Amino acid sequence: MVHANIDNTLGALFIGLVLSAVLNGVTYSQTWFYFSAQQQRTNPDPLWLKTMVVAVVVLDLLHQLFTSHWMYDYCVTNFGNSAALNVLPWSYYGMAYPTGAVTVIVQSFYVWRVWRLSKSAVIAGAIWSVSLAQFGAFLYYVARVFHVPNATDLSLVLGNYAILVNALGAACDIFIACAMVFYLRQSQTSIKRTNHMLRSITVFTVTTGIVSSVCAIMVLSMAGAYPGTNIELTFYFMLTRLYANSFLATLNVRDHMRELSNVTGGIITTSNFVHTRTTAGADVHSHELDDFPRQKGTQNFGRSHGELEDVGTVISVKVDRITDADYK
């Protein structure tokens, strides 16, 4: 068993605070980019999504303020008082609640996207139940903290609950990423540019999901390996920032993906259907996703391949994360 000392208690908190402060700055940068892009769009995101962005950013700010007060209490107010390190300040509880709220909000948004892509209430409901189970375990953990006499006993008495909460969180993130990857692969067609876009979205999905998963796994690993210390809090401080930044990155990347898809006037978007149309006012030819041939070399959709590459042609493909229509 590792004995608590100034390095693995106060030192671990300080490292976590510095890293979380850096990520908090990234959150504000992404928020600025998001609302700046909204002003330039002809079809901005709906009010509920903007409200969700504001809520996540405000909760992230509160988390940073409470963790900063925690460090101030230890390093300034109780400077030189080593016994104070064994007392949980009130800001600990203020730090904990925003973490749980941000986690369940962001995971719920991702589950909603899985449902929009898969149209399967069973799959989305199963994943969401894991997220809600994590939130319930989190609330129980925080409620039990009130009865823990000192900070040293926190991981010793409630260590198993902390491991359960973070294990459920990591599992939910992994399930979301796996579901997105599966259904994105199901959406592949014989159009090379579309498949390239799908692969880019798949890589982004895995990347954003695995970062928060790895952080949650590090929290539960450190809690189990080093009970009685604050080493797990180094990663726990960053968890809220990672969820907030992955959420904002998911929204901001749409413009970047849209720019990449613009080749000689063609646009690849995402919608609830697949169709080809011309901007010259010609007849619209609609096709369900399964109507598109998936064999290589098949290019005739009722029009010639050359016409599909015309400047006035728009190709819409059922992919997630890009179109604003998916967030209405």
What lies within 8 Å, CB to CB, of 104 at 6+ separation is 131, 132, 134, 135
Mean pLDDT over 207-211 rounds to: 75
- Per-residue confidence band for 183, with pLDDT thresholds at 50, 70 and 90: confident
Mean pLDDT of the region 265-273: 39
Query: Helices 152-186 and 231-261: crossing angle, nearest 10°?
Result: 20
**Overall average pLDDT of the 128-135 stretch:** 94
Structure tokens at 16: 């976590």
pLDDT tier for residue 291 given thresholds of 50, 70 and 90: very low
3-state SS of 232-298 is HHHHHHHHHHHHHHHHHHHHHHHHHHHHHHCECCECEECCCCEEEEECCCCCCEEECHHHCCCCCCC
Residue 321, pLDDT score? 40
Of 58-62, 155-159, 207-211, 249-253, least confident by mean pLDDT is 155-159
| Strand ranges of the sheet holding 313-316, from the earlier edge strand across to the other edge | 268-269, 313-316, 274-278, 285-287
Is residue 25 within a helix (H) or strand (E), and if so which, with residue range? Answer: helix 12-40
- Going by pLDDT thresholds of 50, 70 and 90, the confidence category of residue 259 is low
Domains of the chain in start order, with CATH, are 7-254 (1.20.1070), 268-327 (no CATH)
Which segments within the chain are labelled E, that is strand? 268-269, 274-278, 285-287, 313-316
Answer for the pair 287, 275: CB distance below 8 angstroms, yes or no: yes
* pLDDT at 171 exceeding the cut of 80: yes
CA distance 223 to 232: 5
The top-scoring range by mean pLDDT among 47-51, 151-155, 299-303 is 47-51
Structure tokens at 251: 């929204």
**Sign of the alpha-carbon torsion through 53, 54, 55, 56:** positive
Q: What is the pLDDT of residue 133?
A: 95
Quick one: pLDDT band at residue 263, thresholds 50, 70, 90? very low
User: Residues 323, 269: contact at Cβ < 8 Å?
Assistant: yes
Q: What is the mean pLDDT of residues 124-128?
A: 94
Coil/strand/helix, residue 100: helix
Q: Is the pLDDT of residue 118 over 70?
A: yes
